[in-house]
């Protein structure tokens, strides 16, 4: 009995490095989930996300948050 040809559909799609596309997509989603996010609310209470990589205000807010976390951890050790 002759062998069937290998499938080359979505389940067999591979990236150049040999990693299946579904695994690569999962890793990309997890990396995105771990990225620093800054969400602020405007005067009406609507949330707005700031780009943490490019926005100077977002970078300052992240730095302030890190300082607050450090201070809280030092205070709990005392």
pLDDT at position 59 is 92
Instruction: Give 70: exposed, middle or buried? Use CB within 10 Å, 0-12, 13-18, 19+.
Output: exposed
Task: Report the pLDDT value the prediction gives residue 37, as an integer from 0 to 100.
Answer: 85
| Residues with Cβ within 8 Å of residue 3, at least 6 apart in sequence | none
Per-residue pLDDT at 75: 79
pLDDT at 14: 55
Regions in the chain scoring below 70 on pLDDT:
1, 7-18, 76-78
pLDDT score of 30 = 92
| pTM confidence score | 0.53
The domain locations on the chain are 18-77
């Amino acid at each position: 009995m002759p062998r069937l040809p290998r499938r080359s559909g979505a389940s067999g799609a591979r990236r150049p490095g040999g990693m299946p596309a579904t695994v690569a997509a999962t890793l990309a989603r997890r990396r995105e989930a771990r990225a620093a996010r800054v969400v602020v609310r405007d005067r009406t209470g609507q949330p707005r996300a700031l780009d943490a990589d490019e926005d100077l205000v977002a970078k300052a807010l992240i730095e302030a948050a890190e300082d607050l976390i450090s201070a809280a951890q030092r205070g709990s050790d005392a």
